[in-house]
């Protein structure tokens, strides 16, 4: 009997330490210096680096990476449990060396990079000496990769990149850009001539690549490997986002419950009104359903591969966005007027739900993936009736019992009486 929902006690000690560390150290830093983790200013580094050093000392740095890729090799289930804690704080992933978009970029560098590429980019990324961005989506449309037009053309000893990318997260702060071209993924140092970061939008950048010349060794993986590498990268990223969405849901849920016990209306605390209880009960069930889906998916990855778990990862992606939307909306609502201000994190968390439904591929595309993959396990029924058509099944059952009924006519009478009775209900 192998089902077990408990956490290894040694790892629980780590998780308890992480929870306390985040509350005592990470949250105060985040409240006063929300962008410190992405700044190279020495004063900000002096605030951030001691916290990162503590994390490294605990062996919790870059825990998303397998041992053979240079990480501690905890696997996805432990990562999920850790993300459930650190996902409450937007800057915590950077303190633990597992921040997007660097995580996915490190993963493909570790998996597909040459030794020289790893020396040059992976290890500095792991140490946050440099930062990266992933430049795939194009202005004409992000959901359909066949629309992407950015090209890399070989010219002697160089690649020449031309194209335009949209919504490259943290692109303007990145030292290197992983640029998805029609024939592969290329690593482009941001200061290469021809890279132009436009003024708007500010956080997710619009970047033009015009005659950007790169040495041949800046191609990552095989020349036609863009799709393969992007899938590997995004698969990991999606499940990590879903893990952190659980943390956001729980934070909203904790706030909702505390508030429900603290406000009075119409002669009782609002937690005693049935509709508030309904909101709490639905949220409780939905968060736990999401959590089990994510942990099951993490377990599947640990026991097979990201590719094998593709259907589950897609289901996690849109389920996380939906549960986050529902739970944070209920929490905002239960907070009443205070909920719609910026005096609590709730409103921002609620706004995160539509973002989650779009980033890493829109929900519709993932639903198509799930439906298509699931349907591969089914066949159309033969003839006009579905396989669960009861008269046909009953006729088959009658054949199975034919000999017994012939030997004992009582059985026939019992069966007819029971079926008559069942049809009346």
Ligand X SMILES: Cc1cc2nc3c(=O)[nH]c(=O)nc-3n(C[C@H](O)[C@H](O)[C@H](O)COP(=O)(O)OP(=O)(O)OC[C@H]3O[C@@H](n4cnc5c(N)ncnc54)[C@H](O)[C@@H]3O)c2cc1C
Q: Stretches 69-77, 154-162, 279-287, 358-366: which one binds ligand X (CB under 6 A)?
A: 358-366
Q: Stretches 38-46, 51-59, 114-122, 355-363: which one binds ligand X (CB under 6 A)?
A: 355-363
Least separation in angstroms between residue 36's CB and ligand X is 20
Q: Stretches 25-33, 44-52, 129-137, 312-320: which one binds ligand X (CB under 6 A)?
A: 129-137
Q: Measured between alpha carbons, how far is 328 from 408 in angstroms, rounded to an integer?
A: 63
User: Cβ closer to ligand X: 30 or 205?
Assistant: 205
Does 314 bind ligand X (CB under 6 A)? Our answer is no
Does 177 bind ligand X (CB under 6 A)? Our answer is no
Least separation in angstroms between residue 371's CB and ligand X is 11
Least separation in angstroms between residue 373's CB and ligand X is 15
Does 303 bind ligand X (CB under 6 A)? Our answer is no
Does 137 bind ligand X (CB under 6 A)? Our answer is yes
Among 7, 162, 169, 192, binds ligand X (CB under 6 A): 169
Does 89 bind ligand X (CB under 6 A)? Our answer is no
Does 361 bind ligand X (CB under 6 A)? Our answer is yes
Least separation in angstroms between residue 370's CB and ligand X is 13
Q: Which residue's CB comes closest to ligand X?
A: 142
Number of residues interacting with ligand X: please give it, by CB under 6 A.
19
Q: Stretches 24-32, 136-144, 303-311, 385-393: which one binds ligand X (CB under 6 A)?
A: 136-144
Task: Decide: 229 and 221 in contact? Cβ < 8 Å.
Answer: yes
Least separation in angstroms between residue 182's CB and ligand X is 14
Among 46, 351, 358, 374, binds ligand X (CB under 6 A): 358
Least separation in angstroms between residue 41's CB and ligand X is 23
Q: How many CB atoms lie within 10 A of CB 124?
A: 16
Q: Measured between alpha carbons, how far is 334 from 331 in angstroms, rounded to an integer?
A: 5
Among 38, 204, 325, 333, binds ligand X (CB under 6 A): 204
Question: What residues form DSSP beta bridges with 295?
Answer: none
Among 71, 87, 93, 101, binds ligand X (CB under 6 A): 101
Does 355 bind ligand X (CB under 6 A)? Our answer is yes
Among 64, 112, 167, 186, binds ligand X (CB under 6 A): 167
Least separation in angstroms between residue 82's CB and ligand X is 22
Does 77 bind ligand X (CB under 6 A)? Our answer is no
Secondary structure, 3-state, the chain? CCCCCCCCHHHHHHHHHHHHHHHHHHHHHHHHCCCHHHCCCHHHHHHHHHHHHHHHHCCCCCCCCCHHHCCCCCCHHHHHHHHHHHCCCCCHHHHCCCCCCHHHHHHHHHHHCCHHHHHHHHHHHHCCCCCEEEECCECCECCCHHHCCCEEEEECCEEEEEEEEEEEECHHHCCEEEEEECCEEEEEECCCCCEEECCCCCCEEEEEEEEEEEEHHHEECCCCCHHHHHHHHHHHHHHHHHHHHHHHHHHHHHHHHHHHCCCEECCEEHHHCHHHHHHHHHHHHHHHHHHHHHHHHHHHHHHCCCCCCHHHHHHHHHHHHHHHHHHHHHHHHHCHHHHCCCCCCHHHHHHHHHHHHHCCCCHHHHHHHHHHHHHCCCCCCCCCCCCCCHHHHHHHHHHHHHHHHHHCHHHHHHHHHHHHHHHHC
Least separation in angstroms between residue 23's CB and ligand X is 26
User: Cβ closer to ligand X: 203 or 305?
Assistant: 203
User: Cβ closer to ligand X: 340 or 362?
Assistant: 362
Q: Measured between alpha carbons, how far is 187 from 226 in angstroms, rounded to an integer?
A: 12
Among 47, 228, 365, 405, binds ligand X (CB under 6 A): 365
Chain centroid to Cα 197, Å, comes to 27
Least separation in angstroms between residue 314's CB and ligand X is 13
**Nearest one of 372, 379, 370 to 297, comparing CA atoms:** 370
Does 236 bind ligand X (CB under 6 A)? Our answer is no
Does 141 bind ligand X (CB under 6 A)? Our answer is yes
User: Cβ closer to ligand X: 126 or 359?
Assistant: 359
Site residues (vs ligand X, CB under 6 A): 101, 134-137, 141-143, 167-169, 204, 355, 358-359, 361-362, 364-365
């Amino acid at each position: 009997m192998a089902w077990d929902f408990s956490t290894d006690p040694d790892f629980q000690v780590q998780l308890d330490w992480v929870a306390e560390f985040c509350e005592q150290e990470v949250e105060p830093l985040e409240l006063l210096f929300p962008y410190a983790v992405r700044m190279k200013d020495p004063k900000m580094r002096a605030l951030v680096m001691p916290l990162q050093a503590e994390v490294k000392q605990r062996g919790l740095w870059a825990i998303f990476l397998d041992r053979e890729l240079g990480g501690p090799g905890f696997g996805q289930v432990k990562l999920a449990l850790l993300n459930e804690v650190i996902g409450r704080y937007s800057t915590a992933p950077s303190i633990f060396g597992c921040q997007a978009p660097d995580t996915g970029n490190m993963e493909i560098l570790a998996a597909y990079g040459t030794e020289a590429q790893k020396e040059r980019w992976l290890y500095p990324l792991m140490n946050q000496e440099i930062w990266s961005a992933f430049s795939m989506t194009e202005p004409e449309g992000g959901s359909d990769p066949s629309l992407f037009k950015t090209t890399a053309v070989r010219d002697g000893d160089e690649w020449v990149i031309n194209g335009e990318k949209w919504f490259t997260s943290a692109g303007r702060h990145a030292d290197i850009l992983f640029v998805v071209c029609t024939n592969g993924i290329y690593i482009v140092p941001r200061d290469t001539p021809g890279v132009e970061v436009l003024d708007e939008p500010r956080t997710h950048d619009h970047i033009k690549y015009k005659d950007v010349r790169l040495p041949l060794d800046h191609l990552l993986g095989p020349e036609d490997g863009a799709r393969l590498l992007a899938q590997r990268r995004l698969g990991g990223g999606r499940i990590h986002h879903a893990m952190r969405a659980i943390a956001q849901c729980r934070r909203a849920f904790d706030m909702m419950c505390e508030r429900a016990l603290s406000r009075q209306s119409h002669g009782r605390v609002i937690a005693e009104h049935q509709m508030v209880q309904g909101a709490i009960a639905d949220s409780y069930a939905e968060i736990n359903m999401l959590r089990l889906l994510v942990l099951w998916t993490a377990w599947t990855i640990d026991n097979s591969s990201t590719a094998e778990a593709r259907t589950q990862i897609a289901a996690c992606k849109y389920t996380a966005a939906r549960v986050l939307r529902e739970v944070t909306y209920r929490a905002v609502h239960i907070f009443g007027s205070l909920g719609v201000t910026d005096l609590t994190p709730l409103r921002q968390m609620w706004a995160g739900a539509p973002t989650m439904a779009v980033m890493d591929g829109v929900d519709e595309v993932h639903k198509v993936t799930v439906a298509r993959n699931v349907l591969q396990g089914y066949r159309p029924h033969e003839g006009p009736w579905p396989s669960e058509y009861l008269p046909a099944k009953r006729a088959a059952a009658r054949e199975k019992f034919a000999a017994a009924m012939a030997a004992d006519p009582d059985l026939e009478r019992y069966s007819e009486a029971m079926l008559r009775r069942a049809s009346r209900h």
